[in-house]
Amino acid sequence: MSTGEKFELGVALKGKRMCVTTNKGSSYQGILEQITDCACHGASLLLRDGTMQYFLAFSDIKEMKEEVELEETLLDVDTEIDQ
């Protein structure tokens, strides 16, 4: 995924909860709050998780995806035990 593609994906997912994995294997979760494209530092994003803030350069990002929270549902499952 190119830096441009990551930037476009970031813009589309701004305000959503993200999971970002870096090229070094570190993972960060948080709300995608800000995207910047600075000539000297390149494109980066700001993730916020509570009081923690993570500034990540798009060039260091291996994978980014939206975290989808599953609604808690209770399923009734009938199981039969063969004897």
Query: H-type helices in 1-83, by residue range?
Result: 3-12
Domain ranges of the chain: 3-66
Q: In this structure, is the dihedral angle defined by the CA atoms of residues 69, 74, 78 and 83, taken in order, positive or negative?
A: positive
**Cβ 51 vs Cβ 34: under 8 Å:** no
Give the model confidence (pLDDT) of 26-55 as tens digits. 999 999 999 988 777 788 999 999 999 999
Determine if residue 63 is left, alpha or beta; phi over 0 gives left, psi from -120 to 50 gives alpha, anything else beta.
Answer: beta
Q: Which carries the bigger pLDDT value, residue 39 or residue 71?
A: 39
In CATH, the number for domain 3-66 is: 2.30.30.100
